[in-house]
Structure 1
């Protein structure tokens, strides 16, 4: 029987309990995270409707768009901006506490202890005593039974466990702030339950392809043998194993750390510099096989802390069968890297293929002395500088997007956001949350 892992540090104090109960939140965070998914006391859901895009639009932020020549004010920005959403099939939900014992649990309970129960639709959770957990979800007709190695905490009446039906064979139950159960329905109809550290990674589902990607503690043994499941390689970040945004496109994913501590040690006499080089600011995944690390080539003996939105923004667009453009905004500059690939390497029967793309950065001697030196981008093979100044930045909550973006997933709080162009790309989301 699987046992729990030692708990890692929680996802920031502001968000450790974010999804379970808004009364747990610090006051300053409640106003920002106005949506508590199924708890709609402070928001309503309106239908997602199509909104025409300005002619010539290439990419945009919440307030401005780039048309190939410069940045302009974004019309209908309140209608076009990314807003929190919910899956139209209800696969991501909170369970409500109930007093009665669900019928499926009667056959598996021992009768020795009371059973606390939660339910929402066809998902049910029961805890008998302080160790035995009953799980019922749409991925299996049977009840999964899990016995935890240690005593579970006492659950307040207000606690609402989070359930994410990731796909037809995998479901996630967030049991406590630190404890997550992953339920796998095997082909032979047996079920395996793994206890993972909720704060040790994340998992999410692609809204169009239904592919599940997992990172960190959520990468189970033989995970990639499950139908339509892919493990994401680890990245060196400053935002923990949960501090990521994931952008979804019809053709793939972009994994973006919320913060990075860039470091390039100085080489001595041609040898590798002391310390570890950190230069990756994102990872593009084009299923089934292609992983593309997006890197900044920074000067030697340079360190800099970067925060997504505030210091840099990235997004990607597929422009042909064999071309992906990666856009970077940093220090007021806009650059584009055109990545071309051989379509044969991305056939299902081929092995995984990892590649790197580099944006070349420099800084003058005086700038280099500063704690967080500003970079000057330089054109190089396959990359061009589209604008040398005047590009928007400074908002940690802003994404750089295009008409190819279906949605953005905030792994820290397990929240999807979408916008009107997604209506032409998939039917996973039909409404968005509106602040009251």
Structure 2
């Protein structure tokens, strides 16, 4: 390499280094290697042209975007002309999981979320939405069960909600997966690019993050998993709903699910809180208040009841046992309706009390905590705590009798 070529290379590196972070600046050894491997004539920026376009402060003045010097690669950018020519630019609206007066909860081609305490009907709500979608000929639903609900439990719930068994057996209409690890789930997500689900349920975020080695309270790690799974699913055209759990601290609970605030930021559809009203019990049903924590496009919030500074109320989600089927409904809120403060605050103790009441209603009575958990299909930790409380009450009654 000639002296002139080395001088030109040094000028190019000096100009580039002004516009790169320190971590991107090559060492002397790297510069030498770069010089040996690259011909100056092949570099993206011509050094003489760059020097002619240098400002007084050393910055590089961009080339004109027209004429013979045009190097703008339009394929890297949004085709605004196509958008304006082919769209009326209406704001997106939710189309899935309908309330009894018409408006829906979940946006298509977006990441939506439902969060709440254990036993607040989150998974029931997602499966109710799946049942609604599967009534549409040609629609497709994916259920990614990471929360160990089990395929039998999931299918039983969908059948109870009225989904035809023939639809569930058809792999062109319904798919269920319990991924073993991140590689398995990533392969499923890749398959969805051509299968193109109408609706996709990911249950739950609490299992998804550790599957990819990510921590719930780490924003960057959450963002990476969100892009690798949820965003990719939404880009297939699916309405994606993931299930998440409440944080422990009272202040944090007011803002959303447990973990990083990036969860709320990343939702580009609706972010919905479920608050228990009546415990969900097999064979009986239950109910939960639904409220909006975030609505990116406003298509849901505009149909909600607003009262002071509290979250807009979507309505009351109910499951009712009628004959051999479970009937679900989302009742529209009354003007100014609010979620009761004692319910909205929530607590693990409240969940345990609700579970204890449900255990006492089981007929025949539960023989063990495992038996109660299998029959109630509630959070195992809550059931164990409720069972311990039940045994304490029985011991106290035996002591009083003695």
Tell me the TM-score range normalised by the shorter chain: under 0.3
- Taking structure 2 as the reference length, the TM-score comes to 0.23
Whichever structure has more strand as a proportion of its residues is 1
Whichever structure has more helix as a proportion of its residues is 2
Q: Which of the two has higher C-alpha Rg?
A: 2
- Taking structure 1 as the reference length, the TM-score comes to 0.21
